[in-house]
Structure 1
Amino acid sequence: MIRYGQQDITQADIDAVIAVMKSVNLTQGPAITQFEQSVIAHCGAKHAVAVNSATSALHIACLALGLGPGDLLWTTPNTFVASANCALYCGAQVDFVDIDPQTWNLSPQALEAKLIAAEKAGCLPKIVVPVHLTGQPCDMKAIHALSQRYGFKIIEDASHAIGGRYKGESIGSGRYSDITVFSFHPVKIITTAEGGMALTNSDELAIRLGLLRSHGITRDPDLMTQSMDGPWYYQQVALGFNYRMTDIQAALGVSQMTRLNSYVARRHEIAQRYNQLLADLPLTLPWQHPDSYSAWHLYVIRLQLDKIQRTHRQVFEALRAKDIMVNLHYIPIHTQPYYAKMGFKSGDFPEAEKYYSEAISIPMFPTMTEAQQDEVIAVLKEALGA
């Protein structure tokens, strides 16, 4: 069986985790800070707040930016549901912006057109969440320019994209956004088993994120609203959550970070080989914008259904029948039953829906061998009838 993605755990990772398990700090200890600092050093952001999942990071990012009832958050329909659900957790409303037909990311042109109409209707978004699908960054400069004109905040959902770059800078630097979110799920670029992180260059947002991560409780006298009763004293100054990452997870993350660049470089090698060996098949291969250096979390092909005699489902099932465990990223959020109850329907975002009707994520992970890749390609050719 060849999975579409999988983690790489080395003896160094195991040793790092065991060292923490033998220490006095299993959670809220020094490994958290070490992990945060390693990501800061790579990305060039000022602050990082590690949490137990990227979903938690998205939630507290929305809260830190003041999202609440009566507000709007816009994102792409072509993403995992967490990119939109984070708004609902805050009591806000969600809408979507269709994707670019080349990059498959949120389209700046569609965003601008929707903003023009929203301004006239008096319903501009408070937050826009561009998602770096497959690891390729969105056109953040264009989106940021629109934020300056229309007054919305930006959360980069970079769950797929740690290790990538945009215009020569590491994704996560925060040049074109207020907060960037990473995921460390096992199939992502690096893993902490489960985990996420929010990065920002704002001192104020970093304090807010840190409070929201841990029940809204602080021991910092500067953040308290009254004097301390004694050295035991703490105050809850906000309504926060238990979204903390453990030191066990953080230790794994620190170890994995030492291989981040090599992981991404290997993913580029695999992608380049796919590009070469799949070029003559009836497929649309992932196009890469010259301003981007993708983290290549996923390698997505799109079937040219007018050139083959099989359906999307038939090709997908034929691959899985031969133990090529492909996947589909993603079912457009607005077509999910929960969102349909809000009034969204098929046909609302045609580019995202067309993408969904053709897309298949084929195996891509840094320990993938050429023999495994050759097997994927051979079975894919057979499934296409090529």
Structure 2
Amino acid sequence: MSQYVIPYGKQDISQQDIDAVVEVLKSDFLTQGPKVPAFEAALMAHTGAKHALAVNSATSALHIACLALGLGPGDWLWTTPITFVASANCGLYCGAQVDFVDIDERTYNLCPEKLEQKLRDAKNAGTLPKILVAVHLCGQPCDMKAIHRLSKEYGFRVIEDASHAIGGKYHGVPIGRCEYSDITVFSFHPVKIVTTAEGGAALTNCEQLAAKMELLRSHGITRNEALMKGESHGGWYYQQIDLGYNYRMTELQAALGVSQMQRLEEFVEARHVHAVRYNDLLKELPITLPYQLENTYSGLHLYVIRLKLDAISLTHKEVFDALRGNGIGVNLHYIPVHTQPYYQELGFNNGDFPESERYYSDAISLPMFHGMTTEQQDEVVRVLHEVLKRK
């Protein structure tokens, strides 16, 4: 197998990014300094959300979001099977039970119609969810108006897992403004649209949720005398008033994030140029191209095609292996969470969410990143054409 020449995703680090990190290394603060608030301010300025809490990963952001919304033993969290496991694991971290809602066959996001039917059944069974994690797969937003309407009817809270979606829009509004959710989570992993190396953030318009998440990301400790029991002992004093975690983001990560946010629009626009070109160059192949939900603008973290296996002579695995063997670093996002051994031990079975399993049987993520050249994209297309013609 060839060493991949063209990766499926890649960070874009400029000299400005490097200089920003070096500046922090020369400063007095490597953690808990001014850069984390500056990064949070940049996120609020972009999205319009009232509060942003930067943390060390999107997984951490999901965890403190669930805790802030009061998720615990006896509660249910629902999400989509087609996501990274963290979108479901955050419920288990809180001692809650997890279930899934199958995907829409066009968008690959959680299907509002299937959600509504499952909510009716759950209401009769007394198992309504406390939280729904709506994942914006590939950067395309879910149908948040439909989800919001159902949340009001059935009384659940909504977290947008927008790990793929910074820079995207829903009905003209930046993803992250939380117009139809309680909390939105972003990821800043290196293959994401904006990177802080590792990192994440939780955004909300609720002051109480923001205060709770701020407490939880740093051990449950406060130096705010108004929150303490009894009087302060002095300038050194702090109190642990909750069971929190060490989920803080470093100054180095935040400095990189501040610099990267200045190019967010450029990053997303470049991905859209690549997507339009892919759509044109691949339209005659026996594949299904990505669908775009009306009134949305995707962050385009991923470009996923689906093979029409009945029209080609190779299997899904054979196509995938052939692409990788020819230097095209394709990937598959994602293995349905309910088919993972850990979740099968919790009682889930193959066949539980058939649309998700059909998606998994023929989906492939093609290379998509800001710095991808026309020559690299041409090579992806050339190899894919060649592979799909094989007998």
In the alignment, is residue 194 of structure 1 matched against residue 198 of structure 2? Answer: yes
Aligned residue number for residue 301 of structure 1: 305
Tell me the C-alpha RMSD between the 2 structures: 0.6
What's 1:360 paired with? Answer: 364
Runs (4 or more) in structure 1 with deviation over 6 Å come to none
Describe the SS at the equivalent of 1:49: strand
* Cα deviation digits, residues 289-334 of structure 1 (max 9, x gap): 1211000000000000010011000000000000101000000000
Matched, 1:142 2:182: no
1:224 is displaced (CA, Å) by: 1.6
Paired with 2:341 and 2:296, the residues of 1 have a C-alpha distance of 34
Output aligned runs, 1:230-379, within 5 Å.
230-379=234-383
> How far 1:221 moved relative to its partner?
1.6
- Are 2:232 and 1:228 equivalent residues in the alignment? yes
Hey, what does 1:213 align to over in structure 2? Answer: 217
Specify the SS of the correspondent of 2:135: coil
Partner of 2:60: 56
SS at the partner of 2:365? strand
> Following TM superposition, by how much is the alpha carbon of 1:225 offset from its aligned partner in structure 2, in angstroms?
2.3
The C-alpha deviation readout for 1:266-303, integer Å capped at 9, x for no partner, is 00000000001100100000000121100000000000
CA distance in 2, matches of 1:33, 1:220: 17
Matched, 1:155 2:159: yes
**Structure 2: unaligned runs, 5 residues or longer:** none
One-letter code aligned to 2:383? V
Letter in 2 for 1:351: E
How far is 1:262 from its partner?
0.5
Give how far 1:92 is off: 0.6
TM-score (norm 2): 0.98
Deviations 1:105-156 (A, max 9, x none): 0000000000000000001000000100000000001001000000000000
Q: Distance in 1 between matches of 2:107 and 2:270?
A: 21
Mean Cα displacement is larger for which, 197-206 or 224-233?
A: 224-233
Cα displacement (A) at 1:50: 0.3
1:88 aligns with 2:92: yes
CA distances 1:226-279 after superposition (whole Å, capped 9, x unpaired): 221112111111100000000000000000000000000000000000001100
How far did residue 383 of structure 1 move?
A: 1.2
Which of 105, 108, 111 matches 1:104?
Answer: 108
Letter in 1 for 2:225: P
**Could you tell me how far apart the structure 1 residues matched to 2:43 and 2:125 are?**
41
**How is 1:55-74 mapped onto 2 (pairs within 5 angstroms)?**
55-74=59-78
For 1:321, the aligned partner's letter is G
Instruction: With the length of structure 1 as denominator, give the TM-score of the two structures.
Output: 0.99
In the alignment, which residue of structure 2 is the partner of 1:127? 131
Same amino acid, percent of matched pairs: 68
CA distance in 1: counterparts of 2:14 and 2:374, whole angstroms: 20
State which of 10, 14, 37 in structure 2 corresponds to 1:10. Answer: 14
Return the letter of the residue paired with 1:60.
I
Q: 2:28 is matched with which residue? A: 24
Aligned partner of 1:288: which letter? Answer: Q
